[in-house]
């Protein structure tokens, strides 16, 4: 019992330190001890482990100018690569990324009348090319439409997706490449991208709200992804409304979904409907911050302010401060960064 607790603490401390290095880009050992509250000895031991894992480098290992002048910084090793896949109804994007939040060599392949086999072929031909170029690949992270079984990496039965059901994408890629593969829905991955490379940083409780032709939310509580499904798009806002694809009536996504060619005249109305979703999220989870992403930035720069105006005096929150509502750092590109982020979150942490 004691041994397992000890191991658990050690893993937590290692995760904690690596997360601080990712968030700060480069950091000294002294600041690491200060920010994490861990002893200098613990920091030194864990830093040595991360160095021997090849996940971090000291600044003098790649920046000669630094030698002898400045304190040595600990930085993420940019040579360690993650292959990312963003799979949605219209296309798959395949790319390489690193733990510093950079994305390289992305290829988009459009999907038309597909089967699981044809999608597998399209994705694997792009991955083959990346594997020729990148030698230090840690594994594969996938940001996909849901609903999905993330533990087993199965995309279950997404509506309007060529009639495909129970698509075992994780099993296929693991067998094909013998690399670790992690699959998560694109709202959850986007929420995690915000933690490492976006605007969330050390904020413990926040929500990522994304809208395209569907609407969903990734909920982070205490710095970790909540297992709560964020199907906010299927909260009814009109019990007498038309029937939704989920069987319910008057679901939020029937009013607030955002096509990619959104008419500017409907920006205001979309913000008003999205505000209803935001109110529900605040009443259920009381987050400090809500990040808006996917296609919500298409509603104009002032969309967060409009939504803030619509929610004013319409929710109950135990926090004394107002909930912050702002755009996510990566907007429409959030799910791509999310694919790399979910790999980091699941594999390393």
Give the three-class secondary structure for 348. helix
Interaction of residue 234 with Zn ion, rule CB under 5 A: yes
| Stretch of residues binding Zn ion (CB under 5 A), selected from 136-144, 228-236, 262-270, 332-340 | 228-236
| Closest approach of Zn ion to the CB of residue 252, in Å | 8
- Taking the complex as a whole, the smallest distance from the CB of residue 246 to Zn ion amounts, in Å, to 3
Contact call for residue 251 and Zn ion (CB under 5 A): yes
Please answer whether residues 113 and 125 qualify as being in contact, where contact means their C-beta atoms are separated by less than 8 angstroms.
Answer: no
Q: Identify which of residues 234 and 308 has a Cβ nearer to Zn ion in the complex.
A: 234
How far apart, in Å, are the Cα atoms of 329 and each of 94, 200, 335?
Answer: 20, 9, 11
Alpha-carbon torsion, ordered 16, 287, 219, 253, to 10 deg? -160
Q: Write down how long the chain is.
A: 349
Would you give the DSSP letter of residue 346? I
Is residue 246 involved in binding Zn ion (CB under 5 A)? yes
Contact region with Zn ion (CB under 5 A), list: 60-68, 178-186, 243-251, 301-309 = 243-251
Nearer to Zn ion, 41 or 242 (CB): 242
| Count of residues engaged in binding Zn ion, rule: CB under 5 A | 5
Q: In angstroms, rounded to a whole number, what is the distance separating the alpha carbons of residues 153 and 189?
A: 14
CB-nearer residue toward Zn ion: 100 or 248:
248
Interaction between residue 244 and Zn ion (CB under 5 A): yes
Q: Select the span of 67-75, 79-87, 237-245, 261-269 touching Zn ion (CB under 5 A).
A: 237-245
Q: For Zn ion, which is the closer residue by CB, 100 or 249?
A: 249
- The answer to the question of residue 248 lying near Zn ion (CB under 5 A) is yes
- Within 13 A of 273's CA, how many CA atoms are on the CB side? 24
The stretch among 213-221, 249-257, 259-267, 288-296 that binds Zn ion (CB under 5 A) is 249-257
User: What is the residue whose two structure tokens read 């009109």?
Assistant: 238
Whole-angstrom distance, CA of residue 201 vs CA of residue 223: 9
CB atoms within 10 A of CB 320: 5
Give yes or no for residue 229 binding Zn ion (CB under 5 A).
no
Give the range of 211-219, 244-252, 260-268, 336-344 binding Zn ion by CB under 5 A. Answer: 244-252
Q: How far is CA 186 from CA 141, 192, 194, in A?
A: 11, 10, 12
Q: Which stretch binds Zn ion (CB under 5 A): 157-165, 234-242, 283-291, 331-339?
A: 234-242
Q: For residue 159, state whether it binds Zn ion (rule: CB under 5 A).
A: no
The CA distance from 345 to 62, in Å, is 26
- Closest CB to Zn ion among residues 111, 244: 244
203 part of the interface to Zn ion, by CB under 5 A:
no
Q: Which ranges constitute the DSSP H helices of the chain? A: 2-24, 29-36, 40-52, 116-133, 169-177, 186-197, 253-256, 267-285, 303-311, 334-343
Indicate the residue among 214 and 338 with the shorter CB distance to Zn ion: 214
249 in contact with Zn ion (CB under 5 A): no
Footprint on this chain of Zn ion (rule: CB under 5 A): 234, 244, 246, 248, 251
């Amino acid at each position: 019992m004691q041994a397992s607790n000890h191991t658990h603490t050690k893993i937590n401390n290692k995760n904690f330190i690596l997360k601080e290095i990712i968030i700060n880009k480069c950091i000294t050992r002294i600041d690491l001890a200060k920010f994490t509250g861990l002893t200098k000895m613990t920091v030194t031991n864990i830093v040595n482990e991360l160095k021997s894992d090849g996940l971090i480098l000291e600044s003098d290992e790649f920046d000669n100018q630094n030698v002898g002048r400045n304190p040595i910084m600990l930085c993420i090793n940019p040579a360690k690569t993650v292959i990312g896949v963003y799979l949605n109804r219209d296309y798959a994007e395949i790319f390489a990324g690193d733990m510093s939040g950079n994305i390289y060599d992305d290829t988009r392949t459009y999907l038309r009348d597909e089967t699981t086999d044809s999608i597998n072929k399209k994705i694997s031909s792009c991955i083959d090319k990346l594997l020729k170029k990148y030698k230090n690949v840690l594994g594969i992270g996938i940001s996909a439409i849901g609903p999905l079984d993330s533990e087993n990496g199965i995309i279950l039965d997404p509506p309007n997706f060529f009639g495909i059901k129970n698509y075992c994408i994780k099993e296929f890629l693991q067998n094909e490449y013998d690399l670790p593969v992690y699959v998560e829905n694109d709202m959850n991955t986007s929420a995690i991208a915000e933690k490492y490379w976006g605007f969330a940083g050390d904020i413990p409780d926040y929500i990522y709200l994304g809208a395209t032709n569907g609407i969903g939310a990734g909920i982070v509580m205490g710095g970790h992804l909540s297992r709560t499904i964020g199907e906010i798009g299927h909260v009814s806002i009109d019990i007498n409304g038309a029937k939704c694809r989920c069987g319910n009536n008057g679901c939020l996504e029937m009013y607030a979904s955002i096509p990619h060619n959104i008419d500017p005249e409907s920006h205001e109305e979309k913000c008003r409907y999205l505000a209803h979703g935001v109110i529900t999220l605040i009443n259920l989870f009381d987050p400090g911050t809500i990040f808006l992403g996917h296609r919500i930035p298409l509603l104009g720069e002032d969309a967060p302010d409009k939504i803030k105006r619509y929610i004013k005096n319409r929710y109950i929150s135990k926090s004394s401060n107002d909930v912050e509502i702002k755009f996510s750092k990566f907007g429409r590109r959030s799910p791509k960064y999310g694919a790399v982020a979910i790999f980091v979150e699941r594999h390393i942490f």
